[in-house]
Chain A
Amino acid sequence: MGAQQRELESRSFGSQIWYFLRRWPLIPLVLMTILLFTGIFAPFVSPADPVEQSLGFRNFPPTWGKAMPEYNVVPNPADYDLETTKGKSAYSRAKKNSFPRSKFVLGADNLGRDVLSRIVFGARISLQVTAWALTSGIIIGTGLGLIAGYFGGWTDEVLMRIVDVWLALPFILIALVIAQQFLHEGGAALGVVIFIIALVAWTPFVRQVRADVLTIRGQEYVMAAKIAGASHLRLIIRHIMPGTLSTILVVATLRVGQLILTESTLSFLGAGIPDPIPAWGKSVSDGRQFIEEAWWISFWPGFAIFLVVMSLNFFGDWLRDRLDPRLRQLD
């Protein structure tokens, strides 16, 4: 530590910050925390109802939080006779109908729905889909990777060829066809979308875990356990799998971003989440035909995808360099 510490202290404040930012993935961590937080607490964070339509505010431009004089008619309590019930209710009605400052910060879409709220709830959907798809991908991929690497021989050969064929499939078309079978109201059901994303989630785990197992299998402690009479299952679960955990973690982190991209791509093409539910990709596609008069409908949800995927990739790279630099071959 000593030398590094001294070097750090001798630097100027600016370069210390730069050093810190280079060393720790601070910005991606902040963005990912925001994503997780808004995803989990979407109903409390979101400024408005994501599906509520106010047709008077179709394609309403972003207000950036400032009051819009022509809409912002906050009632003055002095104008109302608050002593009487009638006056009281008139005042509360006026207050309710007035244009709240927090509304349409990023604009409204073609049905007058708040773009920001739709992004907030979209985070939730994205998290839900990728969490399920990734979990099943990890379980299936790791399982097959362990089996392929441990048993070797023709089991290995068959499994790896299956992965190869799988990767050669024109996935996006197959996904669209599957979604088409379960289509309702401009999208597939949530479960179907999760299933489709899970179909692509598992392959990298098989390859990387298998590669790990091939080296671990020959280690002395595994041999010793084998000689001591451990069963196949025990050898795999107790002795080999723990050695693959860091690989799984790194691959999973690098995979999340890609899965979010895949999910948004499918929902952009109309094969994703069904209609009233706000999904980022679908919001982008909703705004396509209004791109000339209302760019904000498409721009902000796409920007959200971009930021999230970028920070996940960045974080994944950092984690990989920390835990398992060998995996650099991966990209």
Chain B
Amino acid sequence: MRRFIIRRFAFSLVSIVVATFAVFMLSRAAGDPLLLYANSGYGLTAEGEEALRKRLALDRAVPVQYALWLGRTLKGDMGETILDRKPVSRIVTQRLPSTIHLGATAFFLSFLVGIPLGILSAVKRGTIWDYIGRFLALLGQAVPSFWLGLVLILLFAVHWQIFPAALRGDGIWDVKHLVLPTITLAAGGFAFYMRITRTAMLEVLDSEYVRLARAKGVSNNGVIWKHAFKNALIQPLTGMTLGLTFFLTGSVLVETIFAWPGMGNMAITAVNNNDFPLLQGAVFFFTILFVGMTFITDLLYAYIDPRIRYD
């Protein structure tokens, strides 16, 4: 168990390094970063250019620059943005709560709707409930979130004017601003959880011990809640990792559509302005979020399901 944890942890670190390194190399391939500084109207002289180049360590080889960046980042200094020379770490800490706010709400919504619906669909297999549930999951899986967001804006913000079309509002209890982005982001995740819960539940209901319980004369409700439910939950709980990709990729899109002031929105701006310190920071945090959650679910998996092999 201990070896398993250490291995997964080392692996998580490698993932973070690879992701940030890839983006570092790619954004450096765009050309001389110094030109970006000069273009933003600093009126550099030749000496000033040399000094700036030295200060930003742009005269070193790119892998060395990466190592310097990583070292500074671990100390908490992520450099300054090119566009308005603000510290990246401050922007990120301003933006991170918004993204977590939206992501967590969407995550709980999709989990709390997806799992009961998956169980209902499996228990009432072949009935109208099953068809409704599966149809909703099919919709959620196929709908492009950027389109769903626009359709929701069209209906609820433009036509009926119930919810605002953009921005976050203030504080985490400003539900009005939260409704549309949450639904947009939760659609894909809901479909995912509903499908794996249904599959897992069907499998468990078909297993020998459930049949034995039925043969023993346990009531239908007893079979479902006492015997099947807990074991069927292993799949969706541990499948959270895969679902998280929805929320991370999704947040980039949803935040763009609803002008939600989060990390995804920031990352898109950074890419468009080629603001590489900011982009680098965004990638760093996105990867940490994703890899961290993967690590936690791996541990959860090992804890919940004793059958897992620790390799």
Chain A positions within 8 Å of B, measured between CB atoms, are 161, 164-165, 167-174, 176-178, 180-181, 257, 261, 264-265, 268-270, 281, 284-285, 287-288, 291-292, 295, 298-299, 302-303, 305-306, 309-310, 313-314, 328-329, 331
B100 within 8 A of A: no
Q: Are A173 and B252 in contact (CB under 8 A)?
A: yes
The residues of A that contact B196 with a CB separation of less than 8 Å are: 331
The residues of B that contact A176 with a CB separation of less than 8 Å are: 267-268, 271
B63 within 8 A of A: no
Q: Are A170 and B290 in contact (CB under 8 A)?
A: yes
Cross-chain contact of B142 among A167, A287, A313, A331 (Cβ < 8 A): A313
Known: A165-B15, A168-B290. A284 touches B150 (CB 8 A): yes
Residue of A nearest to B311 (CB): A157
Q: Enumerate 21 A-B pairs (CB-CB under 8 Å) in ascending A order.
A: A161-B11, A168-B290, A170-B283, A172-B253, A173-B282, A173-B283, A173-B286, A176-B267, A177-B279, A180-B30, A269-B253, A281-B146, A284-B146, A284-B147, A288-B257, A295-B154, A302-B151, A305-B144, A310-B139, A313-B138, A314-B138
The residues of B that contact A285 with a CB separation of less than 8 Å are: 146
Residue of A nearest to B145 (CB): A265
Residue of B nearest to A317 (CB): B138
The residues of B that contact A172 with a CB separation of less than 8 Å are: 249, 252-253
Q: Are B248 and A170 in contact (CB under 8 A)?
A: yes
Q: Are A265 and B192 in contact (CB under 8 A)?
A: no
Q: Are B274 and A180 in contact (CB under 8 A)?
A: yes
The residues of B that contact A265 with a CB separation of less than 8 Å are: 144, 146, 249, 253
The residues of B that contact A264 with a CB separation of less than 8 Å are: 144, 146
Residue of A nearest to B284 (CB): A170
Q: Are A298 and B253 in contact (CB under 8 A)?
A: no
> Closest Cβ of chain A: how far from B21's Cβ, in Å?
11
Q: Are A292 and B158 in contact (CB under 8 A)?
A: yes
The residues of A that contact B257 with a CB separation of less than 8 Å are: 288
B29 within 8 A of A: yes
Q: Are B151 and A313 in contact (CB under 8 A)?
A: no
Known: A174-B26, A306-B144. 17 other contacts (CB 8 A): A164-B15, A165-B15, A168-B291, A170-B290, A171-B249, A174-B22, A174-B23, A177-B26, A177-B271, A181-B26, A257-B142, A261-B144, A264-B146, A281-B146, A302-B144, A302-B147, A309-B143
Known: A181-B30, A298-B150, A331-B195. A173 touches B23 (CB 8 A): yes
Chain B positions within 8 Å of A, measured between CB atoms, are 11, 14-15, 18-19, 22-23, 26-27, 29-30, 138-139, 141-144, 146-147, 150-151, 153-154, 158, 192, 195-196, 199, 245, 248-249, 252-253, 256-257, 267-268, 271-272, 274, 279, 282-283, 286-287, 290-291, 294
Residue of B nearest to A280 (CB): B144
- Residue from the set A165, A291, A313 with the largest chain B CB neighbour count within 10 Å: A165
Q: Are A173 and B144 in contact (CB under 8 A)?
A: no
| C-alpha spacing A331/B147, complex, angstroms | 23
> Closest Cβ of chain B: how far from A23's Cβ, in Å?
13
Across the A-B interface, give the 6 residue pairs with the lowest CB-CB distance, nearest first: A302-B147, A310-B142, A168-B15, A309-B142, A170-B286, A176-B271
The residues of A that contact B158 with a CB separation of less than 8 Å are: 291-292
Residue of A nearest to B192 (CB): A331
The residues of A that contact B18 with a CB separation of less than 8 Å are: 165, 169
Q: Are A268 and B146 in contact (CB under 8 A)?
A: yes
- Residue from the set A173, A298, A331 with the largest chain B CB neighbour count within 10 Å: A173
The residues of B that contact A302 with a CB separation of less than 8 Å are: 144, 146-147, 150-151
Cross-chain contact of A164 among B11, B29, B249 (Cβ < 8 A): B11
Residue of A nearest to B239 (CB): A331
> Closest Cβ of chain B: how far from A43's Cβ, in Å?
26
| C-alpha spacing A180/B32, complex, angstroms | 15
| C-alpha spacing A194/B283, complex, angstroms | 23
Q: Are B150 and A169 in contact (CB under 8 A)?
A: no
> Closest Cβ of chain B: how far from A26's Cβ, in Å?
15
Residue of A nearest to B146 (CB): A268
| C-alpha spacing A270/B271, complex, angstroms | 11
Q: Are A170 and B19 in contact (CB under 8 A)?
A: yes
> Closest Cβ of chain B: how far from A210's Cβ, in Å?
15
Residue of B nearest to A176 (CB): B271
The residues of B that contact A295 with a CB separation of less than 8 Å are: 154
Cross-chain contact of A170 among B141, B146, B287 (Cβ < 8 A): B287
Residue of A nearest to B16 (CB): A168
| C-alpha spacing A168/B245, complex, angstroms | 9
Residue of B nearest to A308 (CB): B142
> Closest Cβ of chain A: how far from B141's Cβ, in Å?
6
The residues of A that contact B249 with a CB separation of less than 8 Å are: 170-172, 265
The residues of B that contact A291 with a CB separation of less than 8 Å are: 150, 153-154, 158
| C-alpha spacing A168/B295, complex, angstroms | 11
